[in-house]
Structure 1
């Protein structure tokens, strides 16, 4: 055997010792307080001695390595000694009843397994069956041991746990960890820890001092001892039977747990006196007896009920909130979401029925394009979830489709967190509109040509527009700085330079600084020294503010003055015109009447006969008769024009009063038509008069109505030609008004001329021989309106004209007379 082989074998032995010796030391350190004769203590002592021996052995080995030139017999001797020492350590460890498993690497089967625990035959001695914990341990113990070993391999987390075999044997499991190995040690639970003897006075004293009911009973239920709290509480126990308060099924389960050496817990409701109270009962096996503890949970249940009711009320309140609320548990799964949150994210009940994780919800919302567009979504999601679980999120999200959300998170006591989503879309829209409105208002305010200022409740200037600074001659070089919000007193001192009127400025100041009901509108007008006329007005605003406007009325005052002067001139001229027309008309009527009188005398048949007897020139006499006819005709025409002018002048002057009587429509129609029938016959024009039904009489001035109809018929005949017809009809409207309508088949009136038909001195031949002064229709319109009626016209070129006059049932003047106080 070579020196290198000897060194390999020696290294292997040292490695095994380096594992077993720390184990023995750890076992000695972790064992409970024992006597010096206990095997565990002996093992620890031997392990310490062996560690010293191993140290010197290592020292000798190192020296031997430096003396490679030594003989192989020395190395063989050292290897033999190490093997002997290893056998001694394993022998010492074997003296302790335990199961030891050692792993050189995480997971897999243990590289070293030793079972010296004789009390249990259920623990496998081979590595493969040993790792199948669920075959020789009960379910909860197998799960706990598997979880602890996983943490021991992964993080080196040591543990000490009590596990139970499938046969009810209780073992203490310890997990140890060195720099290279993971170690599991199983020992039997000491008898002193398995059951507390009923004769143990210390245990009884401990139970006796408890404020909760406690007693000790044997398996049959016979009470062997009870504390004072149990005696004071009537339900515990009932009589001498410890099982009396437990139902048959619960009793069977409790007895089975006792036989397995396991504790048994149950919540029951018992009647104590006149009330029912809830208790948590625990039965603890104590060898041949059972220790029972009862905890009154009635108050706890009451508080829990109140908390449950509070939680229910809170969730009911959440249902009516417009703010979205989602609650996640410590496992990051959704626990609760109010309707507003589901509606906000458009999440259906089927998706949240399985309580999805927060990460899955974010992925779902991203698929629906409801989250912010992030280039690195996974990184953003990780950062957001981390901060949400810490309760550190409070931010605003600008989402697609223009939505704006406020997202905030709050931590909960159970390790979870709550997400609050508030829809700010409408608020942001309102803010945007408000900003736009404020900007437009500001620009409008600054663009106003009128001077406007606003005072705050403290009487200081808050807002002003450029027109104000310009009107009162305030510029950057002046001592009055408007940007520094001067007081009303400072402004009044500035105003007084151009207009020193204390009562005006005192009224303005009172309107600005007044409070409560004293705030009112103040208006005045002032004329400055420079000739500028300004209207001043102050109006109260909400919040104690005051709006003051200064309107430059200089131009308006000048225009008003000019208009008043011109109007006065026009009124005077109109009066002069009326006076002139009346004077001239009356002055013309006298000589005209004389001319007409003399003409009629010359045309007298007697005079004409004498002229024939004395005159032998028949042609001259004929011409004289013709000229006299012309003079008479034109004189009557001129007289009619003068009468019309006088009538219009009288109407303008208000000198015409209506003579209201009951007027029969057919009578005034026949009178007006009769005066024109000879003219119609000479012109070859047919004239018809018709009354539609029995329309009855109405209140009007018969003479003026006849004049209206006469003028309309005369005008219609004048625009008609031979063979055409003129009609005059009368009817009542639904409002009981009298309607007279005059129609002709004449050439009609062009649309652009219809608006001027009733104007004075407006005349159009329209292709006929009709001539006139243009006053007849003006008189018609004036008389109809004087009755309170109105007149309308319909005409088309080549289709004639229809003029409709509407007279009310009671004339306007008669109505006014009736309304006068008696």
Structure 2
């Protein structure tokens, strides 16, 4: 292209020179003509001017022609240059396309404002790679989901930030392809190439890694879904991974906490036993007790070694253990029960050996228990009984014995009577067992006839008993007819004996009874109970008030034989007494309520002036009023202490009144146990130092906080400590301890005082019961009652243990998580 340009330029220069020469010749010619004209003066001065004008115009025309010619030549030169450039570009494009298509690849690019364009698609050896360019960007259609997500994320970053990338991808058909993304000249370029050599191996390794990671993820997800703890140990013996159940079992917050702190589920002894088995390369399986969530439960520990690592699982088998233990207990109970029944029982196994017998069996046949314990054969047992004349006398014993023993093969369950030579009649029943053995029941029926005779006698006694009952009794059969009645039934409903002896139907009896009490609903209930055909027969009870103002209680009860027992009791007098007692009880309740209202009202009225007295006392004690002498300070101190004591008593009375009225509400919140104890101890510190008492506090390590009304718990502890101080001798010791008792937090205050006499222990928690004998303590007797009421309001309990001369221990127990919603507090007190 440079040679053509130089040739064109030389040609243009030559043409310019020719134009200049032509212009010069024209000018010279004009000037020559002008000079000639001048010399001959043919035309004069005017002719000379015209010639000059013609000369100038001619020169301008020549110059214009020269410029036009030059422009045309330049345009031709540019056309030649562009044609050469197009040829060169086509040659370069062909070379570039040949180079691009020489390598198997898919080349895609995006230019701003344009759609995707495929520059090359020569890659055909990758399974699953689409040939249609429109399908290439539908990544999810031909790539594995994970590869599609990775490529889409990288393309988004390439488009927005221009960040290049290189990925190894896997198609849905299992092929491997390399994706390379770049930005060049404002274009985003994506190239897919086949993978070969070590990169092919790397792709396979990555694919295997992803498969392993997916398998591991699925396995861990499965382990996390299990309710049993699972953990994996590495070659160093350290825990490397645990599932969620393990995290919950050890009380951790996360898997990371378990692995960082190496929180163990098994005890040291259990881990050592497990390690001794794993060191031999053997699997381990054993049932062990574990403490999980504060509860001891049985688990099957299964550990499988994998090289130096191991995986373990703790399967909760508490239910199975309980079921097995329960089954063993049931079997033992079953055998113990059989030992206590009067029916002789003998169980033979499928090999015809005696596997169980009860005491009744040994006594019935008068056999040695030691010999029976040796598990003799059934045939040997029959032989022994024959020797002692304990079986029926038969003509052919061998045939009879063979028939008896044939039941093990035929599965028959014979039922027969043995009439023994000693005069007894034994009912023998056989039942096949699921294991192929036979259970024999031997019932001595010798006294049955005597029992039948006694039964008839008992029937007569029953008749006499019914006739002397105060309640009216009528028994109806399954057909609804009267089968049995007594005299009280006749008397209550004024019925005729002859009519009743004819076994009338219950409908006829009801018509006769409606003369005294006509209430269809009640009689309908009785008739329904006596004549209904439902499988589950219902009881019918109620009370009738007859026209003569007598009150009759009735009850219809189904009998085992299908009959119905209907009883009527005249409770007129009892009802009157009950009504009188209810009225008296209501009067007592009203009086007690009035007393409580009076005490509450008086307490409110007393608290206002008492508050003023306390305020003025504190004002007098302040230095602003003036100096007081020792006697005055002593008097003011006594007034202040008495006022505070009286105010405390009034507040206790008001609290009790609010509790009785149900107006005292607890403000439940988490409260630190140590803070509660410190606050209560601070309140009695001055009183204890005054009489030189020591306070010993002990809080268990597993006790931290509880859900309760913090102010009320402080009041409870303060009252308990105050009570202990009041009954302690100077220089004594008071102990305050706090321990966990299951789901309860227990506070115990123990003093070394005189204790509580046994005759006062039942009334010590009564209101206004002052226990001042043998001590200097004086009070209104409200400290412990208010403690008991507040503890019960929290859903807790209170107990006292006291021995005269040895001191008293008061224990209050609070639910750790507060009272259960929707339930009333359990009110209980035990005194030992």
> What TM-score, normalized by structure 2, do the two folds share?
0.44
TM-score, scaled relative to structure 1: 0.45
Larger radius of gyration: 1
